[in-house]
Structure 1
Amino acid sequence: MSAQQVHDMWQVKAACRGPQAAVFFPPPQFERKADRLERERRAKAICAECPSQHECLDYALEIREPHGIWGGLNEAERRALIEA
Structure 2
Amino acid sequence: MANLSHLPKAVFESYEWQESGACIDRSVEEFFLPEGLRTVEKSDHEAAAIRICGTCPVVRDCLQHALRARERYGVWGGLSADERAKHLADDSEAA
TM-score by length of 2: 0.78
Alignment map for 1:4-19 (pairs within 5 Å)? 4-19=11-26
- More displaced stretch, 15-24 vs 65-74: 15-24
Query: Which of 33, 38, 49 is the matching residue for 2:39?
Result: 33
Decide which structure has greater helix share.
1
Q: CA RMSD in A?
A: 1.5
Identity %: 35
Q: Give the whole-Å Cα distance in 2 for the aligned partners of 1:34 and 1:62.
A: 29
Superposed structure 1 runs of 4+ greater than 3 Å apart: none
Q: Does 1:68 align with 2:74?
A: yes
Unpaired runs of 5+ in structure 1?
A: none
TM-score by length of 1: 0.87
Equivalence for 1:57: 63
- Which structure has the bigger radius of gyration? 2
- 1:34-69 CA distance string (max 9 Å, x none): 111111111000001101100000000001000000
Q: Give the whole-Å Cα distance in 1 for the aligned partners of 2:26 and 2:54.
A: 18
Aligned residues: 81
